[in-house]
Chains A and B, each alone.
Chain A
Amino acid sequence: MNIPTDLKYTESHEWVKLSKNNETATIGLTDFAQEELTDIVYLDLPKVGDEIEATTECAVVESVKAASDIYAPLSGKVIEVNQAVLDDPALVNEDAFGKGWLFKIKLADPAELEELLSDSDYEEILSEKERPDEDEDEEK
């Protein structure tokens, strides 16, 4: 499972890339998330200017099978939305940490950064999720 070391993560499988001075953040879905979601066919993303609040639903990702919420990793104002991924949502499946980024925000409260997970914390969460599957049934 690909987990870049220069990103921060959430338990709900979003990634965050911070600008040098921690003023802005780029947000996307992890490789694990896109694989779980399978073929992504539509994204409902916030608009530029929208205020989003940490840990609340801020977007919806739709696979063929189901709609799933995306949670805001941080609070802030949306400053850019990835038009390419709106036009071709499969980019999230193809390149979750690159071309499949979703939107950028200007941070409202840098103190929230402490709540995010490091790459190793996130890796730990994923390995805990995968462990029970090895000999017993996959969770529904």
Chain B
Amino acid sequence: MSSETQLKRTPLYESHRRLGARLVEFGGWEMPVQYDGILAEHNAVRTDCGMFDISHMGEVRVSGPQALAFLNHLLTNDLAKLSIGQGQYNLMCNGRGGTVDDLYAYRIGEQEYLLIINASRIEADVPHIHVIAASMGFPTSDIQIENCSDYTGAIAVQGPRSAAVMEALSPGIATEIKRNRIAWKSLAGVNALVARTGYTGEDGFEMVIPAEATAAVWDLLLKQGAKPCGLGARDTLRTEMCYPLYGHELDEDTSAIEAGLAKFVALSKIAFVGKEHLQRQTLSGTSKTLVAFRMSGRSAPPRPHYPLAVGGKTVGEVTSGTQSPSLGVGIGMGYVPPVCATGGQVLEVEIRGKRFPAEIVAKPIYRKNG
């Protein structure tokens, strides 16, 4: 019990208990894994509207005259391309080209950026960010770095009806905030940053809200019929879309190139942390590459760490796997040697000592309208 008392709770903890959520530990936080059931929640997001407590995620604000130069050195994508109010996916590398975290960076002002980082990586990311900043030798007045995670809540609203739900809270919001954009809006009487982004493959919004007002926004969304969804559905939805999850597809020993995320790596930038390694991997290839697969027939769902084999020989392992609620079949991702990584290649997934056939498929595994 002593370890449980140390778990952090989000501003929505009481709401989750009232809604009968099943709570589990995730990245040091006590989070809802499900309310009604993973399948019902998954389907609500695919067909209607669901919402997630993502308050556990970290928020770091970087501002000042050198913020852009600094972030372009810290992160893989080219932040110079961002207009005010625009966001982009990024990776943050260590000096070996491995991944410290994957994150979303938004430009929220002329010289001001917001980074949304993984809950489980806040403690690794924040010191890393400071070390890189110090290494660049800018005067401290030129870059301000603020970790806002502890006093910030966040909610994701996802699904085809999420635009209508958000319109009810803030008329005009869905026409004003387009895909990958972010803006300050008044929600439940407080200023919140609202982005048109998500982790499900559906249209949706992610809101960063002062902690004390997060429950009020959640209640307004409940009234609009957004279905509370837990981490279980969040995982099946993102796996169908082949979105990486830190600790599964990405870690300190795995690069963006190996993970198939080259389009978020701007090798055209003069320099950034990890660039030499990512450039070499781009030119000379890698020893492993991330593939998506679906089971060819009925089998138990693939799970993380199950071995992947080709022609009877183990070549890698599953990083994420589940029964796809949308497709009704086992799906997953895993690392294999590039020579095995062609579409249609037959893989075998070893489940409790038995091998079951699977086929490598294009990402994402799930596509709307087939």
Contacts and interface: CB of A to CB of B under 8 A. Distances in A.
A92 to B, nearest CB: 13
A87 to B, nearest CB: 9
A64 B330 CA distance: 10
Interface in A38-80: 38-39, 41-42, 44, 60, 62-67
B23 A138 contact: yes
Given A64-B236, A64-B325, A39 B300 contact: no
Given A42-B300, A137-B30, A64 B39 contact: yes
Given A41-B323, A42-B323, A137-B23, A62 B301 contact: yes
Nearest to A136: B1
Interface string B303-327: 1000000000000000000110100
Interface residues of A, number: 15
A38 B298 CA distance: 20
A140 interface: yes
Contacts of B299: 42
B33 A65 contact: yes
Contacts of B25: 140
B323 A62 contact: yes
Nearest to B4: A137
B38 interface: yes
B37 A38 contact: yes
Contact of A140 (B4, B236, B300): B4
Contacts of B298: 42
A93 B40 CA distance: 13
Interface string A9-53: 000000000000000000000000000001101101000000000
Nearest to A43: B300
Contact of A64 (B4, B22, B23, B38): B38
B370 to A, nearest CB: 22
A137 B8 CA distance: 13
Contacts of A39: 37-39
A43 B154 CA distance: 37
Contact of A65 (B232, B300, B352): B232
Contacts of B37: 38-39
Contacts of B22: 138
A64 B30 contact: no
A10 B298 CA distance: 30
B31 to A, nearest CB: 11
B24 interface: yes
Interface in A88-140: 137-138, 140
Nearest to B299: A42
Interface string B335-352: 000000000000000001
A66 B37 CA distance: 13
A127 B322 CA distance: 32
Contacts of A137: 4, 23, 30
Contacts of A62: 300-301, 323
Contacts of B23: 137-138, 140
Contacts of A138: 22-23
Given A38-B37, A39-B37, A67 B24 contact: no
A46 B21 CA distance: 34
Interface string B7-46: 0000000000000001111000010011001110000000
A65 B38 CA distance: 8
A38 B38 contact: yes
A68 to B, nearest CB: 11
B322 A64 contact: yes
B300 A67 contact: yes
B366 to A, nearest CB: 15
Interchain residue pairs A-B with the least CB separation, the first 9: A41-B323, A64-B38, A39-B39, A42-B300, A62-B300, A65-B232, A39-B37, A64-B323, A138-B23
Interface of B: 4, 22-25, 30, 33-34, 37-39, 232, 236, 298-301, 303, 322-323, 325, 352
25 contacts: A38-B34, A38-B37, A39-B38, A39-B39, A42-B300, A42-B301, A42-B323, A44-B300, A44-B352, A60-B300, A62-B300, A62-B301, A63-B38, A64-B232, A64-B236, A64-B322, A64-B323, A65-B38, A67-B300, A67-B301, A137-B4, A137-B23, A137-B30, A140-B23, A140-B24
Interface of A: 38-39, 41-42, 44, 60, 62-67, 137-138, 140
